[in-house]
Chain A
Amino acid sequence: MSLAIIALIVLIGMAVGGAYLHKNNMDNIYQKVMDRIPKSSNNDKDHAIDMKKDLMTMMFTHQGPNFNALVISAWLLFIVAAFFSFLLTPQLSEGLVYLKIPELARFSLGPMLFALIPLIFGIIFVVGLRVPRVYGYYIIPIQLKKAMMATWLLPFAAMIIPVYLATIFPYPNSKSFLINISFILLAFSLFMLLSPIFFEAKGTKP
């Protein structure tokens, strides 16, 4: 199994794990709150749903516009960087890569055009999953918040590596390790973006 496939599995595993832990975190908080409230006769199912909505509303804390804007940008850059790392040069497939599309390879703004696909996908992802709202349910310490606001640098760095390799393609074997650095940067940036969920799940304060 190539390193690219392993990296892809790790990234998907982290993303799925983050989603699962977020749901688990929310359920745990709700359960703790419900345990402290005496049971009433109106404890039916509809009432419980309303209670949960109320709780979520009460829990929500706006993290600030700068944080939200930079985290959204970091997510978009992460998706673009992942797209570039796997598909700009042949990592997963020999055929379906940027370098095999003559129109893009010939065009000066080819990388930008190629990035439109992950950008559109990223916007759908961010809006669809309400990513900034997710952070509103967590208490994020100021240090972590600053670190997360600077996270966009990691996917941006990860994006530069496949672009460099594309410009020297076919690159020598001695430079093939560079793409692994890109995979590591991607994994680290994803960890940073999901860190509030991971820390809450672990029960530790960052």
Chain B
Amino acid sequence: MKKIIFLALGLAFMTACHKENISIGTQVFDTFFVTNKGVSMPIHVSGNTASKVIVLFIPGGPGGAGLIYKDKAMETVEQKYAVAYINQRECGTSQGKSTEPNNMALMTEDLELTIATIKKRYGQGMSVFILGHSFGGMMVSAFVTKGDNQKMIKGWIDADGISEYQAIGNLTRDMYLKYGLEQTALGKRVAEWKPIIEWCKAHPNNLTLEEIDYINQQQDGEELMSEYIVNNTYPSQFSYFFDLAKAFKLPITAYGVNILSTGGSNSSLSKDIENKAYHAKLRNVSTPALFLVGKYDFICPPALHQDAYDNTASLKKKIVIFPKSGHQTYMNEPELFAKEVIDFMTLYK
């Protein structure tokens, strides 16, 4: 009996002692962890590490898993450069228990640590870019506007990001009103647009947080404008994750719990996000910047990105409006998304 117990303990101990496995090649897939303040965050590096250029993909949500974004667009990027799919604190497939309430400052610290770790693993000469989608775009803004962080990277990419939470309500309302009036004038889906137009006209002033939440949860705009958006049939996040779970052996239940609890409106992170505004701080950011924006993004409207672009001090900046996209530019127009990302990285690596 004793022998069996010691054998089991020994097996567990042996599997716990991992040799540092760093893959340099054109088609690698490495997983490692960054641990900080009680939490272990898995980082999946995929693609061409031999290029010595890597982009860190910061998922949306909050709560999302990095590998959700390993799709057509980013797999195209992987052929030329490496992509590190991040799982943030309390999000995706991270594990542990944070020793401090989660907030943007803590997640920014995690991102600093992740970049430092990638440079330790793959060499200090690694050119690092960061790319955030939706909430991940807010993370990118938080990162580049803090101290000297922008010196750690070669460039940053905001894809459909939200970098000024309280601004989105008014901008989304204005967008609903604009397209609502335009579409009803064309006689398209009038019955569906009518209550939205009425709601927008009844709320002409600055929206409250509750009203912002209301309008942010509508997401009807993209469906109402679906004839203008390509590749707009999305798999549910869970079914999509199920496929990824099979491919990458991800823990489905851990992810499900993380996205439901961290993305919930009562989480400490969600409350911290509500008052975050980074546009004014972007005036101190001179690192190359790329903004990728869906023309029909009703969640983070193009006007929000235009304001971020205008405020960014960098002279090496570009904004691309995807003409046939909503909030998921990387899924709606993956070829254009990949091309813009690759061109940007090639230019500033």
Asked if chains A and B come from one complex, the reply is: no
Binding site for B on A (CB under 8 A): none
Binding site for A on B (CB under 8 A): none
